[in-house]
Chains A and B, each alone.
Chain A
Amino acid sequence: MENFLKDIKNGIITENPVFVMLLGMCPALGITTTAINGIGMGLATTFVLLGSNIVISLLRKVIPNEVRIPSFIVIIATFVTLVDMLMNAFFPGLHDALGVFIPLIVVNCLILQRAEAMASKNSLGRAVGDALGMGLGFTLAITSLAAFREILGNGTIFEFTILPNFIPLRVMTQSSGAFIALGLMLAFIKWVEITKKGGSRA
Chain B
Amino acid sequence: MITNILVIVASAAIINNFVFKQLLGICPFLGVSNKVETSLGMGAAVTFVMAMASAVTWAIQVYILEAFSLEYLQTIMFILVVATLVQLVEMFIKKSSPTLYKALGVFLPLITTNCAVLGVALLNVRSEYGLVESVFSGIGAAIGFTLALVLLAGIRESLEEYELPKAFDGLPIVLISAGIIALAFTGFQGFF
Binding site for B on A (CB under 8 A): 22-23, 25-26, 29-30, 69-70, 73-74, 77-78, 80-81, 84-85, 100, 103-104, 106-109, 112, 171, 174-180, 182-184, 186-188, 190-191, 194, 199-200, 202
Q: Separation in Å of the B118 CB from the closest CB of chain A?
A: 5
CB pair B25 A175 closer than 8 Å: no
Q: How large is the interface on B (under 10, 10 to 19, 20 to 34, 35 or more residues)?
A: 35 or more
Known: A81-B72, A180-B176, A183-B173. A100 touches B79 (CB 8 A): no
Contact status of A109 and B113, CB under 8 A, knowing A171-B183, A183-B179, A186-B172:
yes
B76 CB contacts on chain A under 8 angstroms: 74, 77-78, 81
In the complex, chain B residues whose CB is within 8 Å of the CB of A84: 75
Contacts of A104 in B (CB 8 A): 24, 115, 118-119, 122
Report yes or no: B27 in contact with A187, Cβ–Cβ below 8 A.
no
Query: B135-172 toward A: CB 8 Å interface, digit per residue (1/0)?
Result: 00000000000000000000000000000011111111
B167: contacting residue among A30, A69, A188, CB under 8 A? A188
CA distance A175 to B168 in the complex (A): 20
Given A183-B179, A184-B172, CB of A30 within 8 Å of CB of B118: no
The chain B residues found within 8 Å of chain A, CB to CB, are 20-27, 30, 72-76, 78-80, 83, 112-115, 118-119, 122-123, 126, 165-176, 178-183, 185-186
Q: How far is the CA of A23 from the CA of B113 in the complex (A)?
A: 12
* Complex contacts, B171 vs chain A, CB 8 Å: 22, 183, 186
Write out the residue numbers on chain A whose beta carbons fall within 8 Å of the beta carbon of B174: 183
Taking a contact as CB atoms under 8 Å apart, the answer to whether A179 and B72 are in contact is no
Contacts of B79 in A (CB 8 A): 73, 77, 106-107
Q: Which chain B residues border A77 with CB–CB below 8 Å?
A: 75-76, 79-80
Chain B residues near A108: list those with CB within 8 A: 115
Q: Chain A at the B interface: mostly helix, strand, loop or mixed?
A: helix
Q: A22-B30, A183-B173 are in contact. Are A202 and B179 (CB under 8 A)?
A: no
**B114, A176: Cβ atoms under 8 Å?**
no
Q: Which residue of B lies closest to A70 (CB)?
A: B83
* Residue picked from A69, A74, A80, A183, most chain B C-beta under 10 Å: A183
Beyond A74-B76, A171-B183, A186-B172, whether A191 also contacts B167 by CB under 8 A is yes
Give the chain B neighbours of A109 by CB distance below 8 A: 27, 113
Q: Which of A69, A178, A187 contacts B168 (CB 8 A)?
A: A187
- B166 closest partner in A (C-beta): A202
A16–B169 alpha-carbon span in the complex (Å): 20
Query: Which residues does chain B contribute within 8 Å of A174, judged by CB atoms?
Result: 182, 186
| Chain A residues whose CB sits within 8 angstroms of the CB of B126 once the complex forms | 100
5 contacts between A and B (CB under 8 A): A73-B80, A176-B180, A183-B178, A187-B168, A190-B168
